[in-house]
Amino acid sequence: MSKGKIAQKMPYILDEKTGKKYWCACGESNSQPFCDGSHKGTDFVPTEVEITEDKKVAWCGCKQSINGAFCDGAHAKL
């Protein structure tokens, strides 16, 4: 699978509540960092993430992280 379009060159740092989230892998969503269905017709699928406790999350914004939905600093090399 190819890498998604760079949505932004920094993470989306959000306070998240428990529950399932669907991270946009294609980079085309207008609801970044979450999926809005913009991937339809491509080989991309959103990544389902289960948040098990309320916490601050650094969602990958560049779509290049080896940690999938979570920022690993890959944006610093773009």
The domain segmentation of the chain, as residue ranges, is 12-68
3-class secondary-structure state, position 45: coil
**How far apart, in Å, are the Cα atoms of 1 and each of 4, 22, 45, 61, 76?**
9, 18, 10, 18, 22
Task: Name residues whose C-beta falls within 8 Å of residue 77's C-beta, 6 or more positions apart in sequence.
Answer: none
Query: What value does the mean pLDDT take over residues 29-50?
Result: 97
Residue 19 has a pLDDT of 98
CATH architecture, domain 12-68: 3-Layer(aba) Sandwich (3.40)
Residue 2 has a pLDDT of 79
> pLDDT band at residue 52, thresholds of 50, 70 and 90?
very high
Q: In this structure, are residues 8 and 62 in contact, taking their beta carbons and an 8 Å threshold?
A: yes
Residue 10, CA atoms < 13 Å, CB-side half-sphere: 3
- Its pTM stands at 0.93
